[in-house]
Amino acid sequence: MTNWMNRTAITLATSLALLAAPPVAAQARKKPVPRVVPVAAPLVLPPAAGEQLAAAALILFGDYACEHGKSLRVSLNPKFDGYVDLLFDKQLFTLKPVLSHTGALRLEDVRGRLLLVQIAIKSMVMDVKAGRRLVDDCVHGTQSDNRRQQDMAAADAAVQAASAAAAAAAALAAAPVQDAIVPPAPSASAAATAPEQAASAATAAAPLAPPASGADSGTR
């Protein structure tokens, strides 16, 4: 009887121990695999030269509304004078402003990944390595004003051109018909006989000369 009770107690203790111990798979899941996160090297940028500072003065800082509901933000870099930061697609890029010969402002990623191009009426972001646009038609508040002014100037030019065309058409319609009629040129025979006719007319119109006085005395 005692042996039976001892075996029962041992079996019960073993079962309780197994129930209390976590499964092997659970223990394996509890041990996270360490992830190695690459640490970007700190930026070391050369001082901005005069041309770079002049280009930086032309940057439109602030928020841009882009196509397809996207957006970006351009702000001053807090560490390096003459450089700017671009917040795009939840990533931060440091850019160097360069003024191109075409007048467009290029903001070049110092790591060579992106390019932000700024013109008077819009901006766009390019993938330098892939050679394609990531987003286009990004408009700052100043660029939006430039667009409105450009549209108004184009509309005024169209109105002036239409007015000039209408004035020219009205002047042409009001011109006398006889001004457009050209008299026929004289024929060759009429041109040849014209001097003779003029000479005959001059002879007929001239008065007859009186007789000489010597002839009258001889007759007496």
Residues 110, 111, 116, CA angle at the centre, nearest 5°?
60
User: CA quadruple 86, 91, 96, 97: dihedral positive or negative?
Assistant: negative
Among residues of the chain, what percentage have pLDDT more than 70?
A: 62
Q: What is the pTM of this model?
A: 0.58
| Interval 16-43 mean pLDDT | 64
Residue 217 is predicted with a pLDDT of 45
> What are the extents of the domains in the chain?
50-143
Chain centre distance of CA 33: 51
What are the φ and ψ backbone dihedral angles of 119, each rounded to 5 degrees? Answer: -120, -175
Residue 143 is predicted with a pLDDT of 97
Whether residue 216 has pLDDT greater than 90: no
Chain centre distance of CA 212: 102
Residue 43 is predicted with a pLDDT of 81
Tell me the pLDDT tens digit for each residue of 127-149: 999 999 999 999 999 999 999 99
Q: Which residues contact 54 (CB under 8 A, 6 or more apart)?
A: 99
Confidence band, pLDDT 50/70/90 cuts, at residue 158: very high
Query: Which CATH class for the 50-143 domain?
Result: mainly beta
Residues in the chain: 220
